[in-house]
Amino acid sequence: MDHAELRGRFATLTTAHLADACIRAEVPVRCAPAPVRPVLPGTRLAGRVAPARHAGSVDVFLEAFHEAAPGDVLVVDNGGRVDEACVGDLVVLEARAAGLDGIVIWGLHRDTADILAIGLPVFSIGATSTGPLKLDARPEDALESATVGEWTVGRADVALGDDDGVLFVPADRVGELLTLAEGIRDTERRQAERIRAGSSLREQVRFDLFLERRRENPALTFREHLRAVGGAIEE
């Protein structure tokens, strides 16, 4: 899937829709840890992962930009450190000039005011004033993968970000997951409209029937019941 189609389809979805689609498709739900948030609320990103493992020098980012394609998302692994920032305004400007769709940082940023003015979506744990505190040996595979929380991602993955955080999905399944997410979105919208019109969610999902069936079969889960009646609130 090219970047224009990815951006266009994700524009009408949320990462929550995609996470539910992953559950339905039995794809691991790979969310960045909750502290990874957009520097500017309301910004979104979607693109193939361009990984970079930071070791104290900006050269790894410049090389990542050199190898990236327009629409990619720089995913920076700084080990979740909170004692230094690894991305500042110049890196963000260069990312924009290279045509990237945004930056995800497993660590901190700085130059917040300048980053806000640049406008490129940046997601990070937070901000601090100091840049890198020391230069370590750069790993040979620094541009092959990046770890964000418990997940390791690379060029075979797509990063999607919004106000709920960042989700990583396999690039070779993104079309399938988007289609599932669109179906979940449409079902939830219909449910919301019916609630506003006076039909409670309990009525819509036949909650009385679920309670009756659970008495007969205590092992029945609500998720199984929802699948049987066409609900989507849990996936």
> Is position 111 annotated in a ligand binding site?
yes
Contact 9, 178 (CB under 8 A): yes
Q: Hey, what amino acid is at 101?
A: D
Does residue 53 have a known ligand-binding role?
Answer: no
Give the amino acid at 50.
Answer: A
For helices 59-67 and 89-97, what crossing angle results, to 10°? 10
Tokens of 103: 């930056």
In angstroms, what CA-CA distances link 47 with 15, 149, 162, 164, 227?
13, 19, 13, 17, 31
CA separation for the pair 74, 94 (Å, rounded): 11
88 in a known ligand binding site: yes
The strand pair at 122-124 and 108-109 is best described as: unpaired
User: Is residue 110 annotated as involved in ligand binding?
Assistant: yes
Please state, in angstroms and rounded to a whole number, the distance separating the CA atoms of residues 202 and 195.
10
Is 80 annotated for ligand binding? no
CA 174, chain centre distance (Å): 12
- Report whether 144 contacts 51 (CB < 8 A): yes
- Annotated binding residues for Mg(2+): 111
Residue list, annotated binding site: 88-91, 110-111
Residues belonging to the binding site for substrate are 88-91, 110
